[in-house]
Chains A and B, each alone.
Chain A
Amino acid sequence: METTTITISKEIVERLKIIDGDSIEAKLVNLLKKGIVSQLKECEDFILNYETKYGMSYEQFKILWGKSQIENKYSHESERDCMEWEGFQHEREKWLKMLRELKDLKTSI
């Protein structure tokens, strides 16, 4: 694995004691994982709002959108919801991918 040297102040190293992990690197990986999970949870909350509003998943919404079966499809609200919902779906995928990558990384540490 390729490595790089970073400098961390003693104060930060001291505070890292509260994080799980046998080494600084393991602690940083755990911190990163927690950060990603937190972002993922926020993202899921936004998605849940759209799922509740339309009573369906994004995949179902896209199918109905393609068939022009979404009520007021061309209204600003519907178009904006479609755009923002898509954005959160992409974000969710991004965080899940990062978690997978981190898992692979963790096993190789």
Chain B
Amino acid sequence: MTETISSFYESVIELKKKYLPNAEIKIFYKRSDKISFRILIKEEFFIDVYRNTQTGRVDFTLIRYGTRIFEYDNSNGWHYHPVENPDTHIRCKELTVQEMFQNTLQIIKKCINLMFRNFNLCRVGIAHPTLLKVAEGLINIFYLILQKYVIQCISHRTCL
């Protein structure tokens, strides 16, 4: 990787435009020898990118709800943090920006598919008649407690 900060940034932006056209870019800082920015896929789901041409450092991390899902970086040699256990390091060969982006994209696709599956499961769960009855029962209990509290407040005139 012998590119400048601008050429690195432009190549990531080109890939973003092609594969994640709706994602937004947030630059934390851009200096002559380093850049730190975020590719915001959706709220709480983003890729944090760092490149330093002086130290040679590269970091490409997929984060969801504040938790690292997947990461490529080259501190102490090229490695990645696998989806199955993101806190571990697995050694790998040096990657190009395109390779890092493409591989991270595969993980993003898996995550989005999983989110849709969970969403559908959730919808099925809510529509289940037994769950609906339980929810109805809970609402009734809450209503009774609230009613009792309001009556108490009125009788003691302590309600704000």
Contacts and interface: CB of A to CB of B under 8 A. Distances in A.
B is bound to A: yes
Interface of A: 39, 42, 46, 74-76, 79-80, 82-84, 86-87, 90-91, 94
A76 B59 CA distance: 10
Interface in B74-88: 75, 86-87
A87 B53 CA distance: 9
Contact of B71 (A42, A76, A86, A90): A76
Given A46-B29, A84-B36, A76 B57 contact: no
Interface string B42-60: 0000001010101101010
A79 B73 CA distance: 10
Interface residues of B, number: 21
A46 to B, nearest CB: 7
3 A-B pairs closest in CB distance: A76-B68, A87-B52, A74-B87
Contacts, number: 47
Contact of B50 (A75, A83, A91, A94): A83
A21 B57 CA distance: 40
A70 to B, nearest CB: 14
Contacts of A94: 33, 54
Interface of B: 29, 31-34, 36, 48, 50, 52, 54-55, 57, 59, 61, 63, 68, 71, 73, 75, 86-87
A46 B63 CA distance: 23
A80 B59 contact: yes
Contact of A82 (B29, B32, B75, B86): B75
A83 B57 contact: yes
Contacts of A80: 48, 50, 59, 61
B6 to A, nearest CB: 17
B55 A90 contact: yes
Contacts of A42: 31
B54 A91 contact: yes
Contact of A84 (B50, B61, B86, B87): B50
A34 to B, nearest CB: 16
Contacts of B75: 79, 82-83
Nearest to B52: A87
